[in-house]
Amino acid sequence: MHRREDMVKQEKRQRFFNINDNIDILREILKRLDGPSLGVAACVCRLWRSLATNDDSLWEHLCFRHVSAPPAASVKSVVVALGGYKRLYMVCVRPVLSRLGAESESDRRRVRRWRREEVPVAVVVQLSLSLFCIDSYERLHGNNNNPATASSGMIPSDASASSLMFLCNPINV
């Protein structure tokens, strides 16, 4: 009697598809999410979280989503060297897009030069890469200051990587 019930249960289980057992399909799905959704997905379970944080290709797809031509292979090595696609997205692409009102309806309050559909994404990517590089440059050297050289006018370490400060929104504490 018991064995028959167990077998029925096992069959049922095999008929239901568990996404966590098929990580490649999961990856394909996550690749198509937008930024906020990807962040939400990272809160689902440990597996999803490790995918979202460690798998940079997800973020790569996010960055180049609307660019018509696929980016050159060299882009990947440069971006990885400068800090990775996730960081590129968080630090540059997302603020740029939201400032330009291209990401969400809630950004409509800013007067924008481009309407949402028209944002020239290629220029966004170019600009983001440049800003990202400047940011990496500052971070690379912001922490290398010792007091002896700080007086010679280099970027003080507590203000390191602040060239992108203009992209941050002010927070009322």
**Considering the rule CB under 8 A, would residue 147 count as an interface residue with other proteins?**
no
Tell me the closest approach of the beta carbon of residue 169 to other proteins, in angstroms. Answer: 8
Quick one: which of 116, 160, 121, 157 has its CA closest to 137?
160
From 96, 105, 109, 172, residue interacting with other proteins (rule: CB under 8 A): 96
Please check whether residue 160 is in contact with residue 139, taking contact to mean a CB–CB distance below 8 angstroms.
yes
**Considering the rule CB under 8 A, would residue 153 count as an interface residue with other proteins?**
yes
Tell me the closest approach of the beta carbon of residue 57 to other proteins, in angstroms. Answer: 18
Q: How many other CB atoms sit within 10 Å of the CB of residue 74?
A: 8
**Considering the rule CB under 8 A, would residue 74 count as an interface residue with other proteins?**
yes
Q: For residue 25, with 0-12 CB atoms within 10 Å meaning exposed, 13-18 middle and 19 or more buried, which class applies?
A: exposed
Interface mask toward other proteins for 154-173; x: CB under 8 A: xxx-----xx-xxxx-x---
Helices and strands in the chain: count of H runs, count of E runs: 10, 0
Nearer to other proteins, 38 or 82 (CB): 82
